[in-house]
Chains A and B, each alone.
Chain A
Amino acid sequence: MKNRRRKALPIGTLLMFIASAALLLTSSIGSAQAALTYFSETYKSQVELYNIGVTLVENGQDVAYRNYGNEADGNWEESGSGLLGNMLAEGETLKLGKAYPEELTVRNSGKIDEFVRVNIYRYWVKGEKEEKCQELSPELIKLERANEDLWIEDETATTAERLVLYYTEPLAAGEVALPFSKTLTIDGGVAKFVTKETLQVDGKTVTRTTYDYNGVEFRLEVEANAVQTHNAEDAIISAWGRDVDVHPNGKPLRLG
């Protein structure tokens, strides 16, 4: 009879086996937790976080928007019809000095809260190629501001042509900001920029005047930007390159 002798497992091997089993078990639990967390975050991202959107509103009418698509498939819904389309009635000519209603604002057309700002450009163009007339003054295109306590100016970014305004309040989904402008006026001063020429015509003295602004076209251009309110300071400097302070009390957003 064979004398069987059971060979005992070395204690080290046994400990390694137990440790492996424990590690496998805990790593499985970890994976399960991670998977749950992962799916949970993804679900939130797609339904709530990704749907940012902004709409530019002129005299109560939407004129341009860009919203992340509801399908969350990476597509954006966007459209624009242009500014000032209804400023003049058909056949009406522009009246120098008249203040035309131009109430501009921004609506949060996304599904998350956001901070917004607007970049306003005013300039003159001429010709079919719309070449900018650098020698003509943008300041004769007057956009009367509104709610200046809420729409604060970034003076470091201001030029004769550009004005950058930050809305100090976060906009909730669907909320419309108070307007940042009231009226638009082309200053009658454009008529003072003339070139005069005196001629003798049939014994008569004739002074002819040519207007420097004749034939040029004014442009008002507005770009509305929106950024998430979550981690807003970092988001704003990343997206817009501007230092801001976001405080829970008082004015939520201040320019740094």
Chain B
Amino acid sequence: MKKASICAALLAAVLTVCASLPAAWGYFTTYTQAKGGYPLYLGQETEIHEDFSDWTKHVTIENTSELSPVFVRARGFTDGSHSLTYSAPEGGWHEEDGWWYYEAILQPGETTKTLDVKISFPAGEEPEEGDEFNVVVVYESTLVLYDKDGNPYADWSNVLTSYEEGA
């Protein structure tokens, strides 16, 4: 009898403790989350177009990519027997550090205005028909980058494509 009473008392105590446990364990918490993003489309293909007349290369560069706008620059090289003179009859180009820079961003599908590269000869050394010259126009392009305020700039330390055209 006495043993049964003790067991009942212990059972009651255990039940009481268990009943109070959820209150001790429960904390009020919640959470929420969200995510988002955008794809990057990076890539460019450019193509040079040249016409040659009157000892002048008429150069344009086309951004044939569908992905990214680019900046382009170009310059010519020769073997030293003659010099090169540049001009931009339609404007849009300027010279700096030996390179001619197209001033506008070249959007996908767009073509630059013409850059003329004229082969000049020393006085009295006019070329004759059949003479061969080696003039190479090199151009480079780079992706358009932006500063934190959204102003575009070119990072010419990161040239993307170099394309040489033999002549």
Contact = CB atoms under 8 A, between A and B. Distances in A.
A88 B38 contact: yes
Nearest to A223: B33
Interface string B135-165: 0000000111111111010010010111111
Given A191-B42, A211-B42, A211-B43, A225 B29 contact: yes
A81 B149 CA distance: 27
A97 B145 contact: yes
Contacts of B30: 52-54, 66-68, 76, 110, 225-226
B39 A217 contact: yes
A247 B67 CA distance: 55
A209 B160 contact: yes
B35 A221 contact: yes
Interface residues of B, number: 40
A228 B29 contact: yes
Given A68-B30, A203-B166, A235-B27, A99 B149 contact: yes
Given A99-B149, A216-B40, A206 B34 contact: no
A223 B67 contact: no
B34 A214 contact: no
A52 B30 CA distance: 7
Interface string A127-152: 00000000000000000000000000
A214 B27 contact: no
Nearest to B151: A98
Contact of B36 (A55, A82, A183): A82
Contact of A97 (B40, B148, B160, B164): B148
Contacts of B166: 203-204
Contacts of A227: 27-29
A185 interface: yes
A9 B77 CA distance: 132
B34 A83 contact: yes
Contact of B37 (A66, A190, A205, A219): A219
A186 interface: yes
B31 A225 contact: yes
Nearest to A216: B40
A156 interface: no
Contacts of B163: 204-207
A56 interface: yes
Interface string A175-210: 000000001011010111010000000011111111
Of the listed residues B40, B45, B155, the one surrounded by the most CB atoms of chain A closer than 10 A to its CB is B40
A215 B40 contact: yes
A243 interface: no
A190 to B, nearest CB: 7
A246 interface: no
A248 interface: no
16 contacts: A52-B28, A66-B30, A68-B30, A87-B38, A96-B40, A97-B148, A98-B146, A98-B148, A121-B35, A188-B143, A204-B164, A205-B162, A205-B163, A209-B44, A222-B33, A238-B27
Interface of B: 25, 27-45, 67, 142-150, 152, 155, 158, 160-166
Given A65-B32, A217-B40, 16 more contacts: A54-B30, A56-B33, A80-B32, A84-B37, A94-B38, A96-B145, A185-B148, A188-B145, A188-B146, A191-B160, A205-B163, A211-B42, A221-B34, A224-B31, A225-B30, A228-B27
